[in-house]
Structure 1
Amino acid sequence: MLNRRIFNALMASALALGLTGPATAQEMTKVVFVQPSPSAINSFNVFVAIGEGFFAEEGLEVSVEAINGSGAVLQALSSGQAMFGRPGPGPVLAARGRDVDVVFIYNFAAKSNFGVVVPADSPIQTPADLKGKVIGTGTADGAEVGFARNVMSGAGLTDGTDYTFLTVGDGGPATAAFSSGEIDAYSASTADAAILNQRGVAVREITPPEYMRFFGNGFVTMGDTIRNNPELVEKFVRAIHKGHVFALDPANREKVLAHMAAGNPQESEDAAFAAALFDAVKDKTIPVDMTNGLGYQPPEVWEEWQATQIAGGELAGPLPDLTAAYTNEFTLKVNGSAN
């Protein structure tokens, strides 16, 4: 649970750094945000920012569109179909390796929201035990694929030679793939693991602890948006930061659950499961080190992400300028830490 003193400090900062009255209808700027799955819980700060009017206070009218995986999110941004998205850092680095000028602006899943899981009764204990096995994934090119490939590379195993990936989808299809024996392991998000357990496939984590420091999906935009309209980016980040802070306060729990249910009613049909999943996802968004506040991206972890992407073959070599892949400018501003 978030320390109350930390919460009060965060909320005071958020309120001091730009709360203004809602813009008039004539002033509203329409913004499209794309997420890699339909889940409102995985983007809870966006739906809180919509429901609590934090975007409206910034003069933004945000619409949310769900598409399939980080690759599709990045394609939507690079084609101009959306202005903000929530992909994983691995796909972002791979895209920049192809000269796609996408920039990470807010670290939402501050602790890894992926893990390699196996059935609870499986004899597999470590990633090395997956040699010759099949690892299921939700999408063909999503963040979960890069994460699992990095874990397997750390165990000395190479994709396509020592093991194979099989795209099986999430939820019911993943459950069926385990039950039929099509897959031996699954690269699961926090939500995926919760769903598998709920549907009777008890799973356990075999991810080495050192990989849990790798942050997961976060908020991005294109480089030209930052250069041409930094005020818009700051407004968006300030609103999602306010939504993040609001959601971490236990006193706001029922409101937060209601906002997420409004964003995806089907996901919250089982209220108890939705609440449990929110708790799991929420905990992943709280940094171990709160020195720089919510949303901050540790440069050293970006270096580690790049190294693992190179080792896994997603990057041919170091990017010309890794620091161009991310910026802490806006998060430091909304946290009151900018110089």
Structure 2
Amino acid sequence: MTKSNLEETPMINRRLFTAAMVASLPLAGTFGAPALATDELRDITFVQPSPSAINSFPVFVAIGEGFFEEEGLNVTVEAINGSGAVLQALSAGQAHFGRPGPGPLIAARARGVDAVHIYNVAARSNFGIAVQEGSDIQDVEGLRGKVIGTGTADGAEVGFARNVMTGAGMTAGEDYEFLTVGDGGPATAAFLNGEIDAYSASTADTAILNQRGMAVRDITPAEFGRFFGNGIATMGETIRNDRELVEAWSRAFARGHAFALDDANREAVLAHLAAGNPQEGEDKEFQSALFDAVRSKTIPTDDAEHLGWYPGAVWAEWQDALVAGGELPGPLEDLDAAWTNEFAEIGAAAVN
């Protein structure tokens, strides 16, 4: 993510879903406005780095089940392109909450963007480096001198792949190359045309490639499974000046997450996701399989204290990888300011 990317105003290109059960009031110009009366809903914008409702399933479930409404919030979801654009929207005041990756968020903070992760959604790594099923490449060492495709130029999948390759002693631009090819169909075409030898993909991306007939397999070393993926972020100013909003969001989001993890609610969950993205809901079998794959990555690790909990040690490992890969000139002055567990704890209390 370059400095110019952070300074540009993003074009939000697709409105996915709006929970508008009753008439609502417009935002008061800043995100630090006081909460509205309990019989009114406050308009809130959430930005996600892809159009998939499944990738942000707790949000759509919390909307559909009325959890946000119970907190006085009317949430609109906007899809934009990648974590870099999510952070741009947050820093430009165009959204209250977003779902960027940890690598882009750390890099953004190094450039003065006061974004903070408040909920660990992808508690288990939801990224991997995949090659075609019939490829001779068996491990990441086989990618030396090769081209790795990515969905976006500055998304979380780039930071993850750079992290993996750095661990193997390789540097981008010297030992391998990145090529932005997009996801879905464009990624399939890039494989077929020989433009890329591997693809840094999310769990959802890999499932889509396989579903479209491009059989791929993951060659990511097992030890990188501890690197959590995209999580919920907001601006530090919002936390300081509008704490009640962040707490309300956190309670509703955690309830949506917990509801979706209960198999007894499966039918309702899939219906909410189809409402959020009708295209994903057209093929029920594929929707169900993709939801299972994405949901599995959000189940907390054994050492987690509750849903949404962040391990501080892995934040340090993320930062070390960014420094080693040349994405950061050096460690942040205060890495702990990039994340907090306090709001996930509030959410966990609402679930329990």
Shared fold per TM-score greater than 0.5: yes
Match of 1:257 among 261, 264, 270: 270
Please tell me whether the aligned partners of residues 252 and 347 of structure 2 are also in contact (alpha carbons under 8 angstroms).
Answer: no
CA offset digits 1:213-233 (Å, max 9, x no partner): 000000000000000011100
- List alignment gaps of at least 5 residues for structure 1: 1-22
Corresponding residue of 2:333: 320
Moved over 4 A (4+): 23-26
Match of 1:178 among 191, 199, 204: 191
Q: In structure 1, how many angstroms separate the alpha carbons of the residues matched to 2:276 and 2:303?
A: 29
TM-superposed CA distance for 1:185, in Å, is 0.1
Paired residues, what number?
Answer: 315
Partner letter of residue 209 of structure 2?
L
Please tell me whether the aligned partners of residues 86 and 219 of structure 1 are also in contact (alpha carbons under 8 angstroms).
Answer: yes
CA offset digits 1:88-125 (Å, max 9, x no partner): 00000000110110000000000010000001111111
TM-superposed CA distance for 1:333, in Å, is 2.1
Q: In structure 1, how many angstroms separate the alpha carbons of the residues matched to 2:37 and 2:265?
A: 27
Corresponding residue of 1:199: 212
CA offset digits 1:65-93 (Å, max 9, x no partner): 00000000000000000010000000000
Please tell me whether the aligned partners of residues 70 and 88 of structure 1 are also in contact (alpha carbons under 8 angstroms).
Answer: yes
Q: In structure 1, how many angstroms separate the alpha carbons of the residues matched to 2:130 and 2:118?
A: 29
Corresponding residue of 2:109: 96
Please tell me whether the aligned partners of residues 292 and 335 of structure 1 are also in contact (alpha carbons under 8 angstroms).
Answer: no
Please tell me whether the aligned partners of residues 168 and 177 of structure 1 are also in contact (alpha carbons under 8 angstroms).
Answer: yes
Q: CA RMSD in A?
A: 1.3
Please tell me whether the aligned partners of residues 145 and 176 of structure 2 are also in contact (alpha carbons under 8 angstroms).
Answer: yes
Match of 2:135 among 116, 122, 125: 122
Partner letter of residue 29 of structure 1?
R
Corresponding residue of 1:311: 324
Corresponding residue of 2:77: 64
TM-superposed CA distance for 1:199, in Å, is 1.1
The secondary structure found in structure 2 opposite 1:105 is strand
Distance 1:34 1:312, change over 3 A: same
- Determine whether 1:50 maps to 2:88: no
- Determine whether 1:216 maps to 2:214: no
The secondary structure found in structure 2 opposite 1:252 is helix
- Determine whether 1:141 maps to 2:162: no
CA offset digits 1:253-310 (Å, max 9, x no partner): 0000000000000112111001000000000000122651100001111111111111
The secondary structure found in structure 1 opposite 2:170 is coil
Match of 2:241 among 228, 233, 248: 228
The secondary structure found in structure 2 opposite 1:115 is strand
The secondary structure found in structure 1 opposite 2:77 is strand
Q: In structure 2, how many angstroms separate the alpha carbons of the residues matched to 1:150 and 1:298?
A: 17
Q: In structure 1, how many angstroms separate the alpha carbons of the residues matched to 2:88 and 2:160?
A: 20
- 1:63-82 to structure 2, matched below 5 A, reads 63-82=76-95
The secondary structure found in structure 1 opposite 2:349 is coil
Please tell me whether the aligned partners of residues 86 and 99 of structure 2 are also in contact (alpha carbons under 8 angstroms).
Answer: yes
Q: In structure 2, how many angstroms separate the alpha carbons of the residues matched to 1:131 and 1:291?
A: 36
Corresponding residue of 2:291: 278
Please tell me whether the aligned partners of residues 297 and 328 of structure 1 are also in contact (alpha carbons under 8 angstroms).
Answer: yes
The secondary structure found in structure 1 opposite 2:88 is helix
Please tell me whether the aligned partners of residues 47 and 95 of structure 2 are also in contact (alpha carbons under 8 angstroms).
Answer: yes
Partner letter of residue 320 of structure 2?
A
Match of 2:163 among 150, 164, 187: 150
CA offset digits 1:182-228 (Å, max 9, x no partner): 11000010011001111111111110111110000000000000000
- List alignment gaps of at least 5 residues for structure 2: 1-35
More helix by share: 1
TM-superposed CA distance for 1:334, in Å, is 2.3
Please tell me whether the aligned partners of residues 47 and 259 of structure 1 are also in contact (alpha carbons under 8 angstroms).
Answer: yes
TM-score by length of 1: 0.91
TM-superposed CA distance for 1:27, in Å, is 2.4
Match of 2:343 among 308, 312, 330: 330
Moved more, 26-35 or 90-99: 26-35
Distance 1:24 1:262, change over 3 A: farther
Partner letter of residue 113 of structure 2?
V
Corresponding residue of 1:8: none
Partner letter of residue 148 of structure 1?
A
TM-superposed CA distance for 1:315, in Å, is 1.0
Moved more, 290-299 or 191-200: 290-299
Moved more, 99-108 or 26-35: 26-35
